[in-house]
A = this chain, B = another copy of it.
Amino acid sequence: MPPRPPRRDDPVRQRSLRDHNLALVLRHVTAANRPPSRAEIAAASGLTRATVSTIVDELIAGGLVAELEPVSRSGVGRPGTGIVPAGTGPAGLGMEVNVDYLAVCAVDLTGAVRHRQVRRLDQREHRPAQTWQALAELADQAVGAVTALGLTPAGGVIAVPGLVEGDTIRIAPNLGWQQVALPRPADLGGLRDLPLDVANEATLAALGERHATGLRSFLYVSGEIGIGGGIVLDGELFGGSHGWAGEIGHVTIDPQGPDCHCGSRGCLEQYAGEEAIRAAAGLPAGAAVLADLVGGARAGRGPVLDALDHAGTALGVALSGAVNLLDIGTVVLGGHYAELIDWLRPAIERELSRRVITARWSPAKVRASALGSDAALVGAARAVTQAILDDPARFLATRAAPAA
């Protein structure tokens, strides 16, 4: 899923220069909390006003940004015209296949969610082809809705709870999928002509969190039926050699621990996965495990509190290892963990302070996900727009070619 390879060993020509500054200016426009004027962009970016002007012209011509109506602004001097991401600009489509629901959303260049739809559907009862078809229907509607808003769909990313390599889902245990290929564009209706990608759900959720929170480096851990994770380093998603980084769910907690379905034993999932917590809390198996846990914990029931403390301890052990290894300052808890954080945090922080060797100088922070259960969905959509923000020149080139 790597959308932009910034090649250190490439020669640099004049054009690359412009490409870089194009991205620089666009970033300033989308990141600012108030529509900046050309002069403000120049001051903030370090470029001259002359350069910013020509670059903004190019971005306007490409439909990526637009001028605001000259609104009177306070202060003396000629008022600047605000530059905003174009209302008719590209939109990123995020799609999510999860155990018991499908979801689609669309974000614009600012990252705002412009469309969102969720459909309950148990994938375990269906074959992948049926899932793809249902997803294509949702996506079709999203394309329609987005187009009605004046946006142009620019690509889509599908979030899947499993290991993805290239365009193939190697394995998605909780869906019961193995070696499933991405659907052919022809089978995807309105997505036919759009670049499409699949990626791991937790990885994309980390990407979503990165943008929602502005955090530069953190470890994202999502606890649902399985436990997933994603790593963001210095603002960039870290994928590892194959894009499989972040699999914290199968880090060993106790080498002699209980067998895990992955073939190993003592994995974190056996201590802090939904099923493990439920069983330890003495709750019945069923659909509303999370609600039962939250309810039980709020009511102060001993078995539930103990189960969450145990899970938190195991999480803390695994996270300590990760922090020791990566020297990362923040841990973000997502998925169900976000709602359980009040009861998990004490144990997690206790283990972190004990087991992280640098904890006394720089303790890691533990916080709940800002996007909650939408993180992966929004992250998938943002992966598309992020690729455009990171390399607008490429986007403009592909836009210009079909038009000509």
Partner of A321, one of B217, B241, B251, B328: B251
Whether B47 and A11, one on each chain, are in contact in the complex, defined by CB atoms closer than 8 angstroms, is yes
Whether B12 and A21, one on each chain, are in contact in the complex, defined by CB atoms closer than 8 angstroms, is yes
* Interface positions of A from 230 to 258, Cβ below 8 Å from B: 231, 233, 238-248, 250-256
Quick one: closest B residue to A330, CB to CB? B241
Partner of A251, one of B245, B246, B255, B324: B324
* Interface positions of A from 42 to 84, Cβ below 8 Å from B: 45-47, 51
For residue A26, CB closer than 8 A to chain B, the reply is: no
- The answer to whether A247 and B317 touch (CB under 8 A), given A24-B11, A355-B264, is no
Partner of A324, one of B247, B324, B358: B247
Whether A255 and B313, one on each chain, are in contact in the complex, defined by CB atoms closer than 8 angstroms, is yes
The residue in A13, A326, A361 that gathers the most chain B C-beta atoms within 10 A of its C-beta is A326
* Interface positions of A from 2 to 35, Cβ below 8 Å from B: 9-14, 16-17, 20-21, 24, 27
| Bound: A324/B265 CA distance, A | 14
For residue A262, CB closer than 8 A to chain B, the reply is: yes
| Bound: A259/B16 CA distance, A | 55
Whether A357 and B12, one on each chain, are in contact in the complex, defined by CB atoms closer than 8 angstroms, is no
Quick one: closest B residue to A329, CB to CB? B241
For residue A320, CB closer than 8 A to chain B, the reply is: yes
CB distance from A170 to the nearest CB of B (A): 6
- The answer to whether A253 and B255 touch (CB under 8 A), given A238-B233, A241-B328, A361-B170, is yes
Residue numbers in B under 8 Å from A325 (CB-CB): 229, 231, 245-248, 251, 321-322, 325-326
For residue A163, CB closer than 8 A to chain B, the reply is: yes
Residue numbers in B under 8 Å from A253 (CB-CB): 252, 255
| Bound: A252/B255 CA distance, A | 10
Residue numbers in B under 8 Å from A267 (CB-CB): 355
Residue numbers in B under 8 Å from A231 (CB-CB): 325-326
| Bound: A361/B256 CA distance, A | 25
CB distance from A63 to the nearest CB of B (A): 24
A-B CB proximity, top 8 nearest:
A240-B327, A244-B327, A245-B327, A11-B46, A251-B321, A247-B324, A264-B355, A11-B47
Instruction: Please give the residue numbers on chain A whose beta carbons come within 8 Å of chain B beta carbons, in ascending order.
Output: 9-14, 16-17, 20-21, 24, 27, 45-47, 51, 163, 165, 170, 217, 229, 231, 233, 238-248, 250-256, 262-264, 267, 313, 317-318, 320-322, 324-329, 354-358, 361-362
Q: Jot down 18 A-B pairs with beta carbons below 8 A, ordered by A.
A: A12-B17, A17-B17, A217-B240, A231-B326, A240-B327, A241-B362, A244-B357, A245-B326, A245-B327, A247-B324, A247-B357, A250-B356, A251-B320, A251-B325, A252-B355, A264-B354, A321-B322, A322-B325
